[in-house]
Amino acid sequence: MPITRRDTLASAAALLAAPAFGQGWPNRPVRIVVPFPPGGLVDTLARALSPRLTERFGQPFVVENRAGAGGNIGADVVAKSAPDGHTLLASSLGPVAVNQYIYRTMPFDTQTAFAPIVLLISTPKVLCVGPERPWRDVQALVAAAKAAPGRLTAGSAGPGTSLHLALELFKQTTGTDIQHVPYRGAAAAITDLVGGQIDFVIDNLPNILGQITGGRVRPLAAATATRLAQLPDVPTMAEQGIDFTFGTAFGLVAPAGTDDAIVQRLAATVSEALRDPAIGGRLAQQGAILGGGSPADFAALIAREKAVLAPVIRAANIRAE
């Protein structure tokens, strides 16, 4: 049948009137999967953000904890969900970027499973020793480790966690042999540090700041480019002659294939919300660095994380089943 001018104008009008995909989103509750137990940094921030997102988008944003396998279990739920913007992942970069180098098998392909949305938070790390340990600076600790290879002990939140990776990079940077002691979470490692069962930890500042200010552990160095506002008297690693910086990033991703309009709206809304002291103010006071920015910014950060940590993991032969 011939197409008339009236048909052409009607089709054009219909296209202009029809909303682009993503403009009708969300049309039901949105799940934010946190692949770790309740109470951690990313869980706390996701729960602080969810009321703002609910208010902004008119549908409930519900946080769901799906812990296990270094974050892979919860991440797998999101990776295999429909890419319609109704299932999101708030996580460290472990399952998104580095678990592929640690786990012998992965339930999803980290290279293709996710669409980066926005950086939520990053946490600087601090090297702390127990109050009874004699070392007053990092050079003294390194000297002790070299004098007795394999004798010093350092705790982590478990194999392959950011605390473990920080320790392995520290060992490689300083040329030391230090025994790794894995725990089920950072809190247990800090407990044993205070009790004298291990020598030191390289932990996220928000996790250990209370123990530092309470005098139960002693900070030797910040693994940051500049001194921390919360610990202005604690020198950086670089100030003590060690080229070592390490932080942990947490972000929001969606299943790959999620419409870019949804991704961009979420990134802009979360970035704006993070500037509100009511959302992340308490975490910022504890030393966390609030994120924000574009999906492209976060994708670039993920790429850098892979490039830095993949060789560390391979050199240390960190493996998990």
Do residue 91 and residue 103 come from a single domain? yes
Do residue 259 and residue 233 come from a single domain? no
Give the CATH number, domain containing residue 208.
3.40.190.10
- Residue 16 falls within a domain, yes or no? no
- Residue 88 falls within a domain, yes or no? yes
Which of 192, 224, 240 terminates a domain? The answer is 240
**Torsion sign, CA atoms 205, 206, 211, 212:** positive
- Residue 17 falls within a domain, yes or no? no
Do residue 233 and residue 255 come from a single domain? no
Residue labelled with tokens 């009790």: 195
Tell me what pLDDT residue 202 has.
Answer: 97
- Residue 34 falls within a domain, yes or no? yes
263-289 per-position pLDDT tens digit: 999 999 999 999 999 998 888 888 889
Neighbours of 71 (CB within 10 A): 25
Tell me what pLDDT residue 2 has.
Answer: 40
Do residue 144 and residue 168 come from a single domain? yes
Do residue 309 and residue 166 come from a single domain? no
Do residue 102 and residue 146 come from a single domain? no
Total-model pTM: 0.83
Do residue 110 and residue 129 come from a single domain? no
Tell me what pLDDT residue 282 has.
Answer: 83
- Residue 232 falls within a domain, yes or no? yes
Tell me what pLDDT residue 212 has.
Answer: 96
Which of 240, 275, 295 terminates a domain? The answer is 240
Give the CATH number, domain containing residue 100.
3.40.190.150
- The SS3 call for residue 222 is strand
Do residue 262 and residue 118 come from a single domain? yes
Q: How far is CA 286 from CA 25, 46, 208, in A?
A: 35, 17, 9
Do residue 72 and residue 219 come from a single domain? no
User: How many angstroms separate the CA atoms of 88 and 75, rounded?
Assistant: 9
Could you tell me if 267 and 22 are in contact, meaning their C-beta atoms sit under 8 angstroms apart? no
**Domain span at 298:** 29-122+248-316
Mark the ranges of the chain whose per-residue pLDDT is less than 50: 1-21
Tell me what pLDDT residue 62 has.
Answer: 98
For 306, the enclosing helix (H) or strand (E) is helix 295-316
- Residue 235 falls within a domain, yes or no? yes
Do residue 210 and residue 274 come from a single domain? no
Tell me what pLDDT residue 321 has.
Answer: 66
- Residue 287 falls within a domain, yes or no? yes
Domain count for the chain: 2
- Residue 115 falls within a domain, yes or no? yes
Do residue 50 and residue 114 come from a single domain? yes
C-alpha dihedral over 88, 184, 244, 92, to 10 degrees? 0
Write the burial class of residue 227 (CB in 10 Å: 0-12 exposed, 13-18 middle, 19+ buried).
Answer: middle
Do residue 47 and residue 68 come from a single domain? yes
Which of 214, 240, 266 terminates a domain? The answer is 240
